[in-house]
A = this chain, B = another copy of it.
Amino acid sequence: MAVGKDKEREIVDAAVALFRDNGYHATSMQDIADAVGLQKGSLYHYLESKEDLLYRIALETISEYNRQLEAIVGSDLPGAEKLLRAVDAHVLMQSRDVGTVTLLRDSGALRPDQREEIHGLTRRYAELVETIIADGIRSGEFRAVDVKMATFAILGACNWIHRWYAAGGRLHPGEISAAFGEFFLSGLGAARGSGD
């Protein structure tokens, strides 16, 4: 019956959409209140502050990214497969957009301590990708590339997707992740094996 929780969810969801479309700064509490049919003041029964909302969204988002990647890394699949699945999950989340844009673009507006926390979680995400690559190199699946550089390249490519991805556009998430995965594997010297 947690009715309060429902409303809270509604508010966060409205904020996700508004922050995504207009940006954190350009979205007012009034906008959010309007979106959920409440008065501005009433929002404060559910939140502490506007920034609190940003924090929740960023946290939810990066947590979901980490959760998915953690599961992949924890599996006992071969390295190439892990990478492909990681890319696929990433692309899917970017295309659905939970709070990706907000996390990526607006988390600089967080309070230092919260920003640092979120930052730590995104570093964690990067480390997981590093793990995949480092393990793959160790097992001989990948070439001996610079792990950090390869990670940054792959991460950057993937985090850029929301900037050009058009929901309902020409490309399906699956096609994107296939192309990206193939490109990355090739970059890691692991693509030729698939042709053998």
Write out the residue numbers on chain B whose beta carbons fall within 8 Å of the beta carbon of A184: 153, 187
Q: Is A3 an interface residue (CB 8 A)?
A: no
The CA-CA distance from A146 to B158 in the complex, in Å, is 16
Size of interface on A: residues with Cβ below 8 Å to B: 36
Copies of the protein in its oligomer: 4
Contact with B along A73-92 (1 / 0, CB 8 A): 00000000000000000000
> Which residue on chain B has the smallest CB distance to residue A23?
B108
Can you list 13 contacts pairing A with B, beta carbon distance less than 8 Å? A22-B108, A25-B25, A143-B186, A150-B179, A154-B157, A155-B160, A156-B156, A160-B160, A184-B187, A186-B187, A186-B189, A187-B187, A189-B191
* A-B pairs, 9 with minimum CB distance: A156-B160, A187-B187, A25-B25, A149-B179, A156-B157, A153-B157, A183-B187, A157-B157, A186-B187
